[in-house]
Amino acid sequence: MPKKAIKKAKKLVTHPPRKRGIAGAEKSAKKAVVKGVDKKSKSQGYTAENIMVLEGLAPVRKRPGMYIGNTASTGLHHLVWEAVDNGIDEAMAGFADTVEVWLLPEGKVSVSDNGRGIPVERHKVSKKSALETVMTTLHAGGKFGEGGGYKVSGGLHGVGVSVVNALSSWMRTEVRRDGKIYAQEYQKGKPTSKVKVVGTTKTDDTGTTQTFLPDSEIFTVTEFDWSTIVDHLRQQAYLTKGIKINIYDQRTNDKKSYKFYFEGGVASYIRHLNNNNEIKQQKVFYVNKEKDNINVEVAFQYTADFREVVYAFANNIHNMEGGSHLIGFKAALTRVLNKYARKNGFLKEKEANLTSDDVREGLTAIISVKLAEPQFEGQTKAKLGNAEVRPAVEAVFADYLESFLEENPRDAKDILGKCLLAAQARMAARSARETVLRKGALEGLTLPGKLADCSSRDPKESELYIVEGDSAGGSAKQGRDRNFQAILPLRGKILNVERARLDKMLANNEIKSLIVAMGTNIGEQFNMEALRYDRIIIMTDADVDGAHIRTLLLTFFYRHFPELVHQGHIYIAQPPLYRLQKGKDIHYLYNDEDLEKIKKQYKISEEDILPEAAVTPEEGEEKEKEIQKVPRINIQRYKGLGEMNPTQLWETTMDPATRLMKKVTVEEAAKADETFEILMGAEVAPRKKFIQTHARSVKNLDI
């Protein structure tokens, strides 16, 4: 490369022209370098020395997100799931019946099973103990190859426990086999000693215990959430009929524990999911049968609700996007119910068949399959791809459903009555939708008059603030950045969509305005690509009414626009609760804890707050001068967004450089469904119990 070109490139990078900025300098530098290189020598700077080979578990520590999703709370808990899955795989193979999880002090976790125990003898390929090979090598385990491993397994890639080891600052594995206890310890995935015998036990006492400490250098969150672990392991106990899963929290003096054992399998899971629902079908349908080496387990029950709750699992892994097993279930359900309806006079000769949507309204169902070689789409295993699973599920489910309907005529009548009502509602909703939001109408329909739209037409940089009331809407409109921020004020509280059908929703002006403003349409005509704003931000007052409006909006989005929630488009603005001014210093505080901290920082007592309010002109200049020697302290509690002027609202809640926002996510769909049903559903008793349970944890309740 010519020396002049190199010199020019270095000069442009180290002394970039001010007007062109850093990006322009780098671009010019690249041009200078390329310009001075002939075509033959372009590859000279890229040699074998530039190729990095990450050995052992180094790739996991380098890119942890590829293996556990992220390094926040979800990824942290994924370590526990990986360790637990090994014990459940032993149970599904028939070699274990108990898995125990211990949350220990100092952030450690211990997972134990009574399976066969990881082999410890020398591995013929790695020339190390099989235990060390499994713990320190990716894609090593008993889930590959023929014989001696697993007929059915959730972990197919052989990366589970080795990933846990790689992302732990310390880990210890104990194996009970052949009357001996073997152990090995690791630091950041590397063994600190060889596998050795540390004790003896009974010959029939076998299993594996994994104890680990997640690496604080990797994870942004290192505290395990008790409820998250309990909910996940409860689900696993439902999906593995007959397994005992015990959970213990030893982190505080207030020790907690749960023990799960469900002989009823996924039928018990259905009863749990419908615990707070009005039931339309008294007997839970359940089948558990093997066909073509695929175990099919299905349970369902209809409720009075308008929505469907259907979860699909393959080898105990939740397939959020469904797959071949879900397709087979839906096809069989629609076909069999239509056949029964025709045969028994529920559908007249000239009436159209029930659609798949009709027969799934109000349905709560679990489809669980177990097979030897599942094919998932991606490491996240969100969708099952095995083509042979569909006919197996369809055949087993259809056969048993026909028998169920014949043997339970009362339940069959209630199910068909629910489906026919759904069909009538669908036709009414379609008529309403065609009237309000007919196909193509969004392009010609005027945007809501109260919407203050942004000037940008690029959805990726645009955001919509949904604001409570005209007062707050006025401040938001004046304080916003018109280039990319749109404001939609809502008058009053929107309809509770948990208890309303689509046709009733579309008759509500506030909901109609919101749907038109977003641009996506709703229901069958929903189009994600037509979304006009990348961020939809709920901004309500920090009081009871504001919380209620926020809950109504979240219910609306979760029930009718779940894609917006799952893809991270819904946010909650965090306006400040207090404004504290001491002299020229101004602090915006977002909760009571922040207020107490700054009081301690400034050593503020109750007597210091608002001293100027006690001073009047009649008290004389001497008294006033005496007071003014102490900096005045003013604490204002914001009861509503309308109390803030446009500048304050921009600085605290709308300026991307300083604002705080919460992204709405759904980590556990079943738990979210249950919570929305309790808070917003028709049943009063579960809501009353919820309020009584959590009443003591409520702060600053406005009455």
Residues designated catalytic? 468, 541, 543, 545
- What sign results for the dihedral spanned by CA atoms 233, 234, 236, 242? positive
Q: How far is the C-alpha of 75 from the C-alpha of 220, rounded, in Å?
A: 10
Cα-trace Rg, the chain: 31
Report d(CA 677, CA 272) in Å as an integer. 13
- Residues 680, 555: contact at Cβ < 8 Å? yes
244-276 residues labelled b (16+ CB within 10 A) or e (exposed)? bbbbbbebeeeeeebebebeebbbbbbbebbeb
CA dist., res. 515 & res. 525, Å (int): 12
Task: Collect all residues with Cβ–Cβ distance below 8 Å to 115 and sequence separation of at least 6.
Answer: 86, 87, 90, 91, 93, 95, 96, 206, 207, 208
- The β-bridge relationship of strands 109-113 and 180-187 is unpaired
Phi, psi angles (nearest 5°) of residue 244: -105, 125
With beta carbons less than 8 A apart as the criterion, state whether 312 and 319 touch. yes
* Stretch (H or E) spanning 401: helix 389-407
CA distance 95 to 694: 42
C-alpha to C-alpha distance for 326 and 313, rounded to whole angstroms: 9
Q: DSSP letter string over 544-556? A: HHHHHHHHHHHHH
Q: Measured between alpha carbons, how far is 248 from 101 in angstroms, rounded to an integer?
A: 6
Known binding residue 541? Answer is yes
Question: Which tokens go with 17?
Answer: 């022209």
162 contact partners, CB below 8 Å, separation of at least 6: 57, 60, 134, 135, 136, 137, 138, 140, 189
- Cα separation of 419 and 232, whole Å? 32
Query: How far is Cα 489 from Cα 479, in angstroms, rounded to an integer?
Result: 14
Beta-carbon contacts of 613 under 8 Å, excluding residues fewer than 6 positions away, are none
570/92 Cα distance (integer angstroms): 39
Instruction: Report d(CA 490, CA 502) in Å as an integer.
Output: 20
| Dist. CA 673–CA 559, nearest whole Å | 9
Interatomic CA distance for residues 637 and 630, integer angstroms: 22
Compute CA distances 130 → 80, 117, 121, 133, 635, whole Å: 22, 11, 6, 5, 65
Residue 543 assigned as binding residue? yes
Residue-wise DSSP of 72-116: SHHHHHHHHHHHHHHHHHHHHTTS--EEEEEE-GGG-EEEEE-SS
* One-character DSSP codes across 487-517: EEEE-SPPP-GGG--HHHHHT-HHHHHHHHH
Given the structure tokens 């540390």, which residue do they identify? 198
3-state secondary structure of 368: strand
Write the secondary structure of 218-279 as one string of H (helix), E (strand) and C (coil).
Answer: CCCCCCCCHHHHHHHHHHHHHHCCCCEEEEEECCCCCCEEEEECCCCCHHHHHHHHCCCCCE
- Show binding-site residues for Mg(2+): 468, 541, 543
Binding-site residue positions: 468, 541, 543
